[in-house]
Structure 1
């Protein structure tokens, strides 16, 4: 009841803050340069990577060091990308100005949020973790359950979820069109349009997310021929990772360290949480019950805790799960169709340690974007998740 009474005051506070800023506007301009890793070509930013030189395509096998990249998205203008950067960090996109995209996808936390279960507007704790956004330009399906097929479609999930950002299309348009700085920036990024449109908002956010490229880790330096980039224990871990005993690379296929598919592996839920049916719901397919997107392992060192619900706190716990035996953690009463790669590799403690050593070589934040110093809305940056008072309702369905 208290939260319901306070909500109108929160909305009023946002409006007053924006109105106050509008009286003393700050000039914002968009960058004419492409983000790192991209080259300007005929006015659009095109991805450039050494992996584009390799003919062997991901998906053709276990993914050796010289495996090329699958198809990717690029071709946005520098201005659209930079506009998306402002939008991504601006809490004005939420209903009451309390959360931004960066709240759950923080650049200093591997574009995740460091929580097992993410927290949205009004302190709602949802039932899934925030996946990293690194290298989403290569993904064909989004969300843990794979229900979105484009970044534009994905953006609508948290924007309009009542438990994440709490907005709606009409409110979003009214808010952004009422801010002179955003009207000017959108006109710069999308010349010729008189008013901001929903498609432009989604496009700009997608353009920014496409720019989040992580392909220059120590592993990548090794893959491109500099073998001194990895230590002997790390190379040993890489060989275990790619072996037909551990079989990690069959799902976490280099160079993206995901094959982009959904897999049922029988991950346990945190204690007290109900079983999550995962991809069974959007696919309407019983064999996909308990199935989730295979996440990239890029920057995995930065995105603890792990799995769709943050079940494991450490990488060591996570890799050890796969040695516990096929289906060992499936809840009683659940008959899951486990992925055929899940078996009993019986790795030793030393081998598990070497796997963790190798996974840490995938860390690369060299292209991490710059956080805006000020926002066009005039609102303050939201650096972390809101607190979770005990009175708030937990366990709401996540749009992740």
Structure 2
């Protein structure tokens, strides 16, 4: 079993706030690729058995040995490590209290455990924070799919007045005037110049390294069948059946087809219907439509749906057997996805689905969580119990 598992490894704050405290230790970026990545001429590329499979993910509902979508890769170890430090550094927010990791916490599946995220000055965002596991495989970002790259996506929360509340000018100034970041940018890029494109590239490099492809499901899919029990195998069969139809949208191995789906999920009590993709495209047929999320590490990222409407996986899967359009508000006529129908799943089948989805949990390539960041501020989303290598950041 150990051999099989080894083979499968996939591998400033504004000036008015005062200067950040100095960090006396010399910071040195890692020159080693993250776990699951192989070095090639100084850059890091994913190692995965899925890369050996000729069939593509969009060739059906996802066989057990189906290839993955392309991954954003080819970054240097230093770029990835620089992005890791910035990801947890509250210097990137407008008031020095928030970081990317505020809404994407490692201990919560790189989500935040909230129905809607909390931004600067306690303001509420409009939707829940999605998990970042395997985000480097995605072609569209945000629930409403309005961004087509990680670089484009990160500009949203960085500069939103209700999220991180920063500005481009302040972000550059705070990093440029920090005692440590110019040296770190020199290590990552060859010179100490700090520009927005370099900031975005480094954070993209780190986020794209958050790969989760070594779950018990993956072991099963690649021939280690004893890792799943009978209930989990039956749950997988329900998941892939033409009755439940889960795999037609949550297509293995990425467990998303990256398309838009109008499913008619209810909003929390008292909240009006979220127009979803229609708010971006203006297309009435996409009203209430959202990007199909991955189910990777879904066990860790409750609550569920774009608004956090369902507190548990059991509640979320039960929604799909409640009847086509049963939760659509009166007066709304949504163009529901044709996969949404009335499968009439039993309680037993719903429980089996939940059991199967929990086999998708895998944090074996959790990155090193820093106990300190270059700004000298306290890292966000990292506690003593979650720091897996407190000395690795220097």
SS of 1:39's equivalent in the other structure is strand
Structure with greater contact order relative to length (CA < 8 Å, sep ≥ 6):
1
Per-residue deviation, 1:299: 0.3
Counterpart position of 1:60 = 59
Alignment partners' CA distance in 2, 1:13 and 1:369? 33
Per-residue deviation, 1:10: 8.6
Structure 1 stretches of 4+ moved >4 Å: 9-14
Instruction: Provide, for residues 228-254 of structure 1, a one-character-per-residue CA deviation record: whole Å limited to 9, x for no partner.
Output: 010000000000000000000000000
- Are 2:106 and 2:381, in contact at CA under 8 Å, matched by a contact in 1? no
Counterpart position of 1:361 = 359
2:179 maps to 1:180 = yes
Alignment partners' CA distance in 1, 2:149 and 2:195? 18
Alignment partners' CA distance in 1, 2:114 and 2:146? 22
1:277 aligned to which of 275, 278, 284: 275
Instruction: Provide, for residues 217-236 of structure 1, a one-character-per-residue CA deviation record: whole Å limited to 9, x for no partner.
Output: 00000000010010000000
Alignment partners' CA distance in 2, 1:72 and 1:176? 29
Counterpart position of 2:321 = 323
TM-score by length of 1: 0.91
Per-residue deviation, 1:163: 0.4
Per-residue deviation, 1:180: 2.3
Counterpart position of 1:229 = 227
Counterpart position of 2:161 = 162
- Are 2:323 and 2:341, in contact at CA under 8 Å, matched by a contact in 1? yes
Alignment partners' CA distance in 1, 2:297 and 2:102? 18
SS of 1:81's equivalent in the other structure is helix
- Which sections of structure 1, spanning at least 5 residues, go unmatched? 1-8, 385-400
Counterpart position of 1:15 = 18
Alignment partners' CA distance in 1, 2:209 and 2:80? 7
- Which sections of structure 2, spanning at least 5 residues, go unmatched? 1-11, 383-394
Instruction: Provide, for residues 11-56 of structure 1, a one-character-per-residue CA deviation record: whole Å limited to 9, x for no partner.
Output: 568434x1x32xx632111000000110110111011101011111
Alignment partners' CA distance in 2, 1:269 and 1:12? 41
Instruction: Provide, for residues 120-145 of structure 1, a one-character-per-residue CA deviation record: whole Å limited to 9, x for no partner.
Output: 11001112000000001110000000
Alignment partners' CA distance in 2, 1:179 and 1:310? 38
Counterparts of 1:340-379 in structure 2 under 5 Å?
340-379=338-377
TM-score by length of 2: 0.92
